[in-house]
Amino acid sequence: MKLNAVEKFLMNNPIRSFVQRKKEAVMFEKLGGKTVGQKVLEIGCGRGVGTEIIIERFGAAEVHAVDLDPEMVELARKRLAAYPAEKLGLSVGDAEAIDAPDHSYDAVFDFGIIHHIPLWQNSVAEVARVLKPGGRFYFEEVTQRALDRWFYRTFLEHPKENRFSGEQFIAELEKNGIEVGKNSAYWLFDDLIIGVGRKTPFFLQVGGIRGA
Ligand SMILES: C[S@@+](CC[C@H](N)C(=O)[O-])C[C@H]1O[C@@H](n2cnc3c(N)ncnc32)[C@H](O)[C@@H]1O
């Protein structure tokens, strides 16, 4: 679902980009390393700060970034206008139905979007589908614990049901062949979970002997 006006203000804000650059990107790099020369997808790119980080800090060769909200995609387009088309593809798109063939990307980034999706399990399945075997999923997510807080309930809009804890999110990733293991951390009194998972190589998934 799209953001309400309050959350748009909170997201399209220098404080949000500061947190993305100085905290989330640092943790992502520590847990998953860079993506130099790789083809990367960002789901829910918002105004494009994450996309810029993926290109500049992580060194991706090509980034496709999508957001459900055309207004956000337009903001990202303005921010990222200097990048050539062969480096950056921006479009309106749904993380529940990613417009890409199976095994298209070396990495997928999620800067806090999946908690906005009512049937969020669909987007986890889609991320797993479009990742190449061995590809990495960088995620920062807002847990049910945060969404239950007064501020979130009063001022922000999120799906009312089917919310997830950090453990449930990771369990769903692992069910879809994205191994996280101990490669994640809680942050802000467990309100946020941040981590990097790796898509199980295809032959292991088919054989049903994950981790062997
Ligand atoms: C909390 S904002 C985060 C934006 C940006 N990633 C950031 O960190 O600043 C969540 C974003 O996800 C987008 N979004 C929500 N549901 C989506 C979906 N199903 N597919 C793609 N984007 C979605 C929203 O429009 C919004 O821009």
185: part of which helix (H) or strand (E)? strand 184-187
Query: Is residue 91 a part of any domain in this protein?
Result: yes
Ligand 1: atom nearest CA of 69 is 25
pLDDT of residue 202: 63
Q: Could you give the CA distance from residue 66 to residue 94 in angstroms, rounded to a whole number? A: 7
Domain count, the chain: 1
Judge contact between 111 and 20, C-beta under 8 A.
yes
Ligand 1: atom nearest CA of 66 is 21
pLDDT tens-digit series, residues 158-172 = 898 999 999 999 999
pLDDT of residue 208: 39
pLDDT of residue 5: 87
Is the minimum distance from the CB of 141 to ligand 1 under 6 angstroms? no
Q: Which residues of the chain have pLDDT under 70?
A: 202-212
Query: Is residue 109 a part of any domain in this protein?
Result: yes
Is the minimum distance from the CB of 43 to ligand 1 under 6 angstroms? yes
pLDDT of residue 7: 87
Query: Is residue 212 a part of any domain in this protein?
Result: no
Query: Is residue 182 a part of any domain in this protein?
Result: yes
**Residue with CA nearest ligand 1 atom 10:** 113
Query: Is residue 32 a part of any domain in this protein?
Result: yes
89: part of which helix (H) or strand (E)? strand 88-92
Q: Can you give the residue range of the structural domain that contains 147?
A: 5-207
**Residue with CA nearest ligand 1 atom 2:** 113
Query: Is residue 94 a part of any domain in this protein?
Result: yes
CATH number reported for the structural domain that contains residue 101 in this entry: 3.40.50.150
pLDDT tens-digit series, residues 9-22 = 888 899 999 999 99
Ligand 1: atom nearest CA of 110 is 6
Ligand 1: atom nearest CA of 142 is 1
Model-level pTM greater than 0.85? yes
CA 139–ligand 1 middle distance (angstroms): 13
pLDDT of residue 149: 92
CA 108–ligand 1 middle distance (angstroms): 14
Query: Is residue 144 a part of any domain in this protein?
Result: yes
| Tokens describing residue 181 | 């293991």
Q: Nearest-CA neighbor of 32 among 164, 184, 151?
A: 184
Query: Is residue 149 a part of any domain in this protein?
Result: yes
